[in-house]
Every structure is written in structure tokens, then in C-alpha cells.
Amino acid sequence: MMTRAATPPILLQLQSSDTTSSQVVCLRSLKNELIGHDQRKETYVIAGVIPVLGQVLASRWPVKPAGTESGSSQTSDDLEACLQAILVVASLAQGGPTFLSPIFASDIIPTLLSIISSPDCPQSFCLPILRLVNTIADRLPLQSQDQWPRDTRLADSIFAPETVGAIRRIIAQAYGNSASQACIELAAALIGKLCTEEVHKTTLAECGVLDALAVKIASFVVAKGFVLPGAEGHLRDPGALGEFPPAAPASARLAPILRAVTVIIEQSKSRAEHFLSSPGVVTVFPRQIHGFGPNDIKRGPWGATYLSGSAVPRNPGVNPVDTLLPSVPITYPKSSSGSTNFPPLGGPGLQRGHSHSFPTPFSLAETSSPEEEENSIVPWLLCILRSEGGMVRLMAARLVTVLFRLGLAKKHRVPMFSYLLVPILIRMLDKDFTVPEEPGPSDDGLLTPTQRLKEEAPAVLANLVMDDQELQKHAVDGHALKRLSQLLKETYNPVAETSRPMWYPEEDGPVRDPESTSADCRLGPPGYSPTLCHVMRYRESILKAVAALVPFKDEYRKLVCEHGVVPYIIDSLKPRPTDAPADAASVPKNTAADGNPTPTLLAACGAARMLTRSVSVLRTSLVDAGVAPPLFILLKHPDLEVQIAATAALCNLALDFSPMKEAIVQAGIIPTLCEHARSSNTKLRIESLWALKHVVFNTANDIKMKVVEDLSPAWIRQIISQDPVSSMAKRGLEEETENTRGITMGRVNSAGEQVDFLNPMEDSNESGGDFRMSDSTPPSKLNLDKFLPDARRRHKLVLHENLKQSTQSRQDDIAVQEQTFDLLRNLLCGNGATEMIDYLFREIGQEELLDALAENLRPRNTIQLPHRRDSSNRIVSVPHEILSAVTAVIIHIAAGLTRHRQVLISHRDLLRSLASYFNHSHRDIRINCVWVVINLVYEDDHNDREECRERAARLKALGVTDRLASLKDDSDLDIKERTKIAISLLNQLGSA
């Protein structure tokens, strides 16, 4: 039995110290004892040093404010004891992930965050605390690469309402000495490393951190001389700072600021617009008014602006920053007439409001309307990524890409992105690409700058080219796929770790989990090596780029196969074995047999899904590489996001032409898909139903019945009986009421503050602690309250985020019902369809099924919105996705036996409701209505003639003949031809 080592003498002295000065001496000795000696750190942790350090921090803070009569020397000793304790904890954290568990088990982190959040916290404390927290944040991913989502304990504490104000205060301070500069960059770096949750991003936007970061960006704009000409005339405009922020010093680092802004605004247009409307951005990049000089713009006594009679625009419509960028060739659509050397006469490009200063063939292709004017920060970022290097260049590319994806960098930028941004990102994929060493306070010390840049560059490229075929073409033409394929292969080359594990006199090493010790005295798992984590993140980023380049072009997917990378994508679908020994994690394990962490699995599923869009690739390369078995395994992965991604990839494997469709059935995947279809997670439900509808198409009836049985008829009946319109109307009414009614409505925002959204200006001078700077004496003449979002902007941000969530919920509800109806339609396809109609009538219930179809077709009445001053009504119609899916089910029932058609024609509401959609705006719904008529009146044989005549008479009585007549001149040729057939059949039956 292993016995615990004796307590080290320094720790005994620290525990028995009865004065603060003696504690300081012991802490200094302890710091010197531990620096660079991980084995000693383990000994001290097991001996209980972390609880002692926590006690020192808690007992010596808060200290007496300076200037009080009693003992300034005591205050000095208390500060020094706290500082030395912080440095010792930082030294322990430097030892790696094994020390994070006992630190988190103690109360050290809450104590440190309370210290830094105090208005009395000196800068000499801010810097070491921020360094310590960054050290912990850097090593959190090393704890467990298998964990997803990431460990958010530290982020939850730092971005809590009581702490986020300190982050804002630190970032908002002026660039003064090197210490304040380091604090700003470390605080921004924390956001870049830890802010992954939507709730945290919203909190940082609402509580002013995003605005503080915007002011820092404005400082760099001032320092680099990019302030727009005439901006000085807009300093007093509403929302501006009132004066230009001080220029950032030459030693200040822009990359951490750009990363923090990007992390906060990604995937949220409302947060991005909040950033673009922030006082810092508005001050240096005011909205351009057609290039008029400030003396030409007058302000009337009523407050509105107007142009003087002698006003002449200078460079009308030109963004001055654009003139600093090189001109790029534009590509016109193939349908454009004339030579490519000249733009089409009278084309929309001549109506644009952007620069005509470039030669015509090189000017920008299109523009936005004045109310959608692009912010000048977009061309400024393009200038930065051209003039700077290293991580600044990559972060500028990442931020401008995010703005482009959110629709805030306009489409006319695509040629410029193609010729300027795409080549820069592809260059970063080169094996010989290096970044100069730039040590700074935000460096993690675990990887080189080149490694950090390379693992992020492919993901930025992926986000840029996503859904844009022109950008994808330029990237592929630049040999991006070839380079990415080679890089993906290299991530499977064995990695040699330079460092060796520590030697212990005991065979089993230190005691890591004895039951008799408290959690803050137990060492955590050794974790993964930084090199392995880098390789896994690199692999994930490369897979994202491959997936983003091939969704539309079959030739690109074939190119991936030609580069021989498909087997490596399949290997990336294999998770880490659950029975891997714990001590193996400290050594790089990156081969195919070692598996992949959850983030890499998600990226690999995305790449596999894109490749399965190609029939030829699916039938050859993917079959040979064995794509199906790994996906089958991932369907039962413990992580929900992996299940969703694997199911999405499986959808294409289940298509009727896929050679793997039979394998899905034989592997017993149907019960798993049915179980997932009933999941509480909406995304998993949608993807599972999508896969199931592919599985049942043209398959044997016993398999179809098995699907219905596993889903359960009661569940199907419940889904198809839901009324999406009533829920849409209800939610729409709630939103309308929230936005328009005149009564006070409060809500707690993410900072825990009660906000009156409907009367925001009444609270424009709020004095809550979370929305005021804690510094009593600002370091500059700028009003620091300008760094905070005013009530109106905060009100807009919160409402947009709520609307986004509500809209997504409605879309998800519609998608679930749509996929369920599509599943029913495919159950009724192929041989044995009539048997399946009888089966569904029997299992779901004939009346229940037809009533559900009729209810979804029922025309809706207008809805009077309450609390509106006008008398307008809102028409809430059935979503066209539901109408298309429902009418498709009716088509297949009408294609059944005579008794099935009689059931449809005899229903009290079904066809009457259907008749109102013959002139629907969506083409699919119109042609479906025509097909229903054709199937109902089509004679299978002479025995069916009398029933066909009765059905034709019923349809004429419902006014279907007139509806069909209106479609004879439809713009869609297929509808016109089908309408002729339907009218001919009705006329034949009527004349017989």
C-alpha cells in the first residue's frame, strides 16, 4: 500500500505562519521552489498547498482602502501576500491539465474574480490574475479532447453578470503603460479562448464589452491614419464618441481585439449590427453622405440636415478606403451581351452608388441600396490583411469573412475576395509558410505562432467560400483542394513528442485519486499533449474546408477522390476508443487507430455528407472506403451533436440509387433512426425523419410497416394533427404585442437586469453597477459611458435575438411536420402502394388521417392583432412547405384503388379546402392540385367508369373546372400540359 509523502517543510511553515510578513517570505520561497519543477508541484498539491493558497487569498482580501488611518504597512503586506499566492497558483497551472482539477475544486478562481471585479483592485493585481486565468484557459482543452461541448466552468464564471463589468472596464481603459496594454490584450484574449456559448456572447454585447472592443479598433484606425475624411464633422452626431479615441501605440496588438470581436458577433447578424453601430466604429467611420464636405451640410433649427445651395459632391458615392485597394477584374454573367472587356449597356452596374474612379471594366460589380450602405470597416479590414502579416492578417480575414457571411459585406465584394483574400488564405496552407515569432501577453506558450495560424486558416477559408460558387471556383483553381488533401494525409503521420514523461521513484507515479483526500488535493488526469490537440484541431479545420469547397460541383468531389483523400476522411469518422489507458493521453496519438475527438468527428461527418451528394463518388470511392459502418457507429455516439451530424450524412446513403441502402436495413439502423425521430432534440428529429423517408422509398412493404411500427402510429398521428398556423399565429401575436403595445413590459436581460424594452429612453441614464465604469477618474477625456450600449441599442439587440430564436423554433416545428408528411408520401410509393394505404388507414385511422390532411389545407382567416392603433388584420397562411407535402400525400392516395378515391371524394372538407390552392404562388402546390384531379378521374378499367363520373361531377361542383381553366396559360410548361390532361379527362367523363 502506497503511503503519502511527508508534508514539505515550506508548506508547514506557511501553514503555521502567524504574521503576514512571514507568510510573504514563505510564499516567495514556495514560488522559487516550484517554478519549472512539475514533480515538486505534484508533491505540494497532494500535500494540500492549494487549500492553503485559497485561504491566504480569502483572508488577505479585501484589504483596507489606502488612505485610512490604520496601518498602511499592513495593507502593503496583505497585497504582497495575495500577489505571491497568485504567482504560486499560476506556476501550478503552468504544469498542465493535471493541476486544473484541484484548482477548480478549490475556491481560488471565484476569489480571484472577486478581486479583479473590485473597484479597488490595483493594476499590479489585474495583470497577474489575467495571466493566470489565460494560463488556465489555454490548458483547458488539454484536459479532454473527447469532451464536447467544451468545459464552460471558467467561461461561466468570467462572463457572469458580476464579473463581466470588470472585463469591460479593463478593455475600455486607455492604452497607457505596458501593463495596461497587456491587461487589455489579455482580457480580449480570454474572450477569444473561452466565449463559445450564445448566452456568453449575448452578455458581452449587452453589457458593453463589444462596444469597448470597438473603441479599441477605432484606436488602431486612428493610429494607422484610416479615419474617413470629414469624420471630424460628425463627432457630435448621435451615437458618436464626441472626439476621436487616442491612437493605439505602435506596440499594441490588434489581433486579440479582432479575434474577440469576431468570436462575439459570429452567427448573429444582430450582434454584428450592434458592433457596426457602436460609438467607436461610428466615430471613425461615419455614414457617408455622398462625399459632401462638412461646410455643405447645414442643420436646420428643427434638427434636420440639408445641403446648402452651393453644395457640390466630392467623389460622389466613393468610399475613400476603397481607393486604397487595388482594382480587381469583374466577371459578368454568361448571358450578358457584348465583349467581356466592356460592361453591358444599361446594366444595373451603371446605377450603383459606388466608386467610378476605377476604369470601368475593373469597377465593382454591384451595389446595395443607400439604406443598406456597407460600413467602411470592410475595406479597412481588407487593407489590414494586405498590409499586415501573421495573426493580424488572419484575424482581419476572419472578421471580414464573418461580416460577409452575415450579409454586412455586400456581394460586390466577391471579386475582391476572389483575387485578394482567397490567395492569401491558400498561401497559408503551404508547408513552408511561417509566421515570425511575436511573443506577447496573449501567447499560450504551448504552440508556435505558425502552428496556431495554420490550424485556423482552413476554417476561415471554409467560412469564406461556403455557399458561394464563384469563391469556390477561385479556391479550387488555386489548388486549394490539392493542398488540403495533402495536409489531411499529413495529420495522420506519427508525431514525435520532444518532451518525455516525468520519472517517478514509485512505479505507478503520484497518488492521483485516493478516496481519503479532498478534491483540491487530488491530481487530475494527465491530459493530452499540446501537439496532439494542435493536430486534431488542424484536422478538423481541414475537413471543414474540404466540405465547404465541394457541395455544388461534382467535378470538385471527384477531384477529392483523385487526390486519394477519401480513406482519410473515413478514418476521421472513427471516435477515440473508450477503453484507452489514461496514461496514454500524455503521448501524441494521432493515427487512424487512435481515433478522433468529437469536434473532428463533426467536421468529418460534414465532409462525408458533401461527398455523398455525388452518385459516382457514392457508388465507387465511398463504397470502397467503407463509409457506412463508421456512420452506423456514430449514430449511437453519446454526444447528441455527433448523432445529428452522422444522421445528416446517412441521409444521402439511404437514397434509392445508393448501393448502401440495403446495408442500412441489414445493419438494423431503422430502430435507431425511429428512436431518434422521437427525440426531444428538434434537429435530430428532422434529420432522422429525412433519413427514414429515403429508406422507405421503393422498399418492401414489410420494412415500411416496420418503420411505422417503430415510430408508433400514435406518434405519427400526433405530429400530422398539429396545426402549425395556430402556433405561428400565437407566437406572432406575442411578438407583435411585445413590440407594439404601449404598456410597460419588463424583462430580465442576460446581465440579470430588469429592462423596460417598450420605453427604453426612460431608462437611458441607468446607474446599475453592470452598466457603469468602475473607475472614478477616467484616464482620458473620453466619456467612458459612451463605451456602453445605450438603452435603445440594447433594446434592439435583445429583441432581434429573441426574434431569431422564435423564428428558428417556428421553422423547426414546420420542418418536423413536413418531413413526417414526406415520410407518409414515400410509404405510399412503389409496388404494394395500395396495401400501404389500407395499412395506414387501419393503423393511424382513416378518419384521423384524412381529417389531419384536411385541417392542414383549411384556409385561414385574418387575425386582428390586439393593441394596434390601426385596423389592419394579419393573414396567417399555411406554410407552403406543409401544403406541398400534404398535397403530395393526397396525390398518392388518389392513385390507389377505387375505394381509396371514393374515401377522398366523400370527405366533407378535404377537396373543398384543396380547391382554394389551384392558383397558389408556389409552382409545386399548383401542379400537385392538378395531379390530384388527374388521379381522381383517371379510369383504371371500364368497371371504374361510373365512379369516375361521380367523382368528376363532385369536382365540377366544387368549382375545379374554373380553377383548371385559369391554369391553361400558366407560366410553367409542365403545369400547362398537366392541366390540359385534367381538363380533357373531365370533359370526356362529362360528355359520356
DSSP string, 920-946: -SSHHHHHHHHHHHHHHH--SSGGGHH
- The rounded distance, in Å, linking the Cα atoms of 949 and 957 is 12
Q: Which of residues 802, 837, 868 is at a domain's end? A: 868
- The domain boundary, picked from 657, 682, 712, lies at 657
How many whole angstroms separate alpha carbon 491 and alpha carbon 565?
12
Average pLDDT score, the chain: 80
Rounded distance between C-alpha atoms, residue 421 and residue 512, angstroms: 50
Query: Does residue 313 form part of some domain?
Result: no
Q: Give yes or no: residues 618 and 556 share one domain.
A: yes
Q: What is the CATH number of the domain that holds 40?
A: 1.25.10.10
Do 612 and 550 share a structural domain? yes
Going by C-alpha positions, the residue among 974, 57, 10, 46 that lies closest to residue 506 is 46
On the question of pLDDT at 555 being above 80, the answer is: yes
Residue 853 in domain: yes
Q: For residue 861, give the DSSP letter.
A: P
Q: Give me the number of domains the chain comprises.
A: 4
Name the pLDDT band for 538 (thresholds 50, 70, 90).
very high
Query: Alpha-carbon distance 107 to 101, whole Å?
Result: 12
Q: Are strands 746-748 and 305-307 parallel, antiparallel or unpaired?
A: unpaired
pLDDT (tens digit per residue) in 643-686: 999 999 999 888 887 888 888 888 899 999 999 999 999 999 99
Residue 47, CA distances (Å) to 8, 97, 250 in order: 8, 18, 47
pLDDT band per the 50, 70, 90 thresholds, residue 294 = low
Q: Are 417 and 463 in contact (CB under 8 A)?
A: no
Are residue 598 and residue 675 in the same domain, yes or no? no
Q: Is 483 part of a structural domain of the chain?
A: no
Residue 366 DSSP SS3: coil
Q: Which of 663, 645, 643, 648 is nearest to 613 (CA)?
A: 648
What is the reported pLDDT for 5?
57
Domain boundary among the residues 605, 628, 657 is at 657
CA distance 448 to 436: 9
Q: How many CB atoms lie within 10 A of CB 838?
A: 14
DSSP SS3 for 232: helix
Give me the phi and psi of 755, to 5 degrees please.
Answer: -120, 135
Neighbours of 899 (CB within 10 A): 12
Q: Quote the Cα angle for 219-220-224, to 5°.
A: 120
pLDDT at 469 over 50: yes
Exposed/middle/buried for residue 2 (C-beta within 10 Å: 0-12, 13-18, 19+): exposed
For residue 435, give the 3-state DSSP assignment. coil
pLDDT > 50? residue 567: yes
Say if residues 195 and 150 touch (Cβ distance below 8 Å).
no
Looking at the domain assignment, is residue 650 inside a domain?
Answer: yes
CA nearest 27: which of 79, 72, 87, 73?
Answer: 87
Residue type, 981: I
Rounded-to-integer distance, Cα 223 and Cα 245, Å: 10
Query: Residues 292, 313: contact at Cβ < 8 Å?
Result: yes
pLDDT category of residue 808 using cuts at 50, 70 and 90: confident
Could you tell me if 856 and 990 lie in one domain?
A: no
Yes or no: say if 892 and 829 are a contact pair by the CB < 8 Å rule: yes
Are residue 646 and residue 699 in the same domain, yes or no?
A: no
Q: Tell me the β-bridge partners of 864.
A: 873
Do 540 and 649 sit in the same domain of this protein?
Answer: yes
804 and 672 within one domain: yes
Q: How many CB atoms are closer than 10 A to CB 559?
A: 17
pLDDT at 861: 62
CA 192 – CA 264 distance, rounded (Å): 8
Range of the domain at 607: 525-657
pLDDT at 587: 59
Q: How many CB atoms lie within 10 A of CB 360?
A: 12
Residues 857 and 709 in one domain: yes
Note the residue count of the chain: 992
Confidence of residue 327 (pLDDT cuts 50, 70, 90): confident
Are the C-beta atoms of 575 and 634 separated by less than 8 Å? yes
Q: Minimal CA–CA distance to 605: which of 547, 525, 537, 669?
A: 547
| Diameter of the chain measured on Cα atoms | 113
pLDDT of 199 higher than 70: yes
Burial code (b: 16+ CB inside 10 Å, e: under 16) for 640-667 equals: ebbbbbbbbbbbbbbbeebebbebbbee
CB count, 10 Å around CB of 237? 14
* CB within 8 Å of 617: residues ≥ 6 apart: 554, 557, 558, 560, 561, 566, 611
Confidence of residue 62 (pLDDT cuts 50, 70, 90): low
Rounded Cα gap, residues 369 and 373, in angstroms: 7
Q: How many helices (H) and strands (E) does the chain have?
A: 47, 6
**How much is the average pLDDT of 41-68?**
78
First-residue to last-residue Cα distance in the chain = 101
Residue 207 corresponds to which amino acid?
Answer: C
Question: In sequence order, what are the residues at sequence separation of 6 or more whose Cβ sits closer than 8 angstroms to the Cβ of residue 734?
Answer: none
Statement to judge: residues 674 and 819 lie in one domain: yes
Query: Residue 787 contacts by C-beta under 8 Å, 6 or more apart in sequence?
Result: 168, 172, 208, 211, 212, 215, 279, 280, 773
Q: Which three cell numbers stand for residue 863?
A: 387575425
Give the three cell numbers for residue 154.
471558467
Regarding whether 898 and 834 lie in a shared domain, the answer is: no
pLDDT band at 753 (very low <50, low <70, confident <90, very high): very low
For residue 315, give the C-alpha cell: 467623389
pLDDT digits (tens, 9 = 90+) for 348-386: 332 333 333 323 222 233 333 334 678 999 999 999 999
Distance CA 313, CA 941 (A): 79
Determine, yes or no, domain membership for 432: no
Cell numbers representing residue 680 in the block: 426531444
- DSSP state, residue 297: E
Residue recorded with cell 475537413: 543
State how far the Cα of 896 lies from the Cα of 940, in Å rounded to an integer.
Answer: 10
Query: Are the beta carbons of 44 and 3 closer than 8 angstroms?
Result: no
d(CA 188, CA 395): 13
- Nearest alpha carbon to residue 756 among 766, 765, 747, 743: 747
* Higher per-residue confidence, 610 vs 442: 610
What integer pLDDT is reported at residue 17 of this predicted model? 81
Asked if the model's pLDDT at residue 341 lies above 60, the reply is no
Whether residues 860 and 889 share a domain: the answer is: no
Q: What is the DSSP string of 508-537?
A: T-S----TTS-GGGS-------HHHHHHHH
Q: 532 is written with which cell numbers?
A: 496532439
Q: What is the pLDDT of residues 826-883, one digit of tens each?
A: 999 988 999 999 999 999 999 999 999 999 998 876 554 444 444 455 566 889 999 9
C-alpha distance from residue 359 to each of 326, 343, 446 (Å): 12, 11, 49
Question: In which band, very low, low, confident or very high, does the pLDDT at 770 lie, cut at 50, 70 and 90?
Answer: very low
Other Cβ atoms less than 10 A from the Cβ of 893: the count is: 27
In a domain, 497, yes or no: no
669 and 632 Cβ atoms separated by less than 8 Å? yes
How do residues 885-905 score in pLDDT, each as one tens digit?
Answer: 999 999 999 999 999 999 999
One domain for residues 855 and 953: no
Give residue-wise pLDDT tens across range 221-260: 999 999 988 888 888 888 888 889 999 999 999 999 999 9
- Residue 546: name the closest of 641, 477, 476, 494 by CA: 476
C-alpha cell at 70: 490604520
Please report whether residue 563 resides in a domain. Answer: yes
Q: What is the pTM of this model?
A: 0.84
**What percent of the chain clears pLDDT 70, i.e. is strictly above it?**
77
| Segment 87-103, tens digit of pLDDT | 999 999 998 889 999 99
Cα–Cα distance measured from residue 551 to residue 491, given in angstroms and rounded to the nearest whole number: 23
d(Cα 606, Cα 963) in Å, to the nearest integer? Answer: 45
DSSP structural state of residue 369: -
Q: Is 459 part of any domain?
A: no
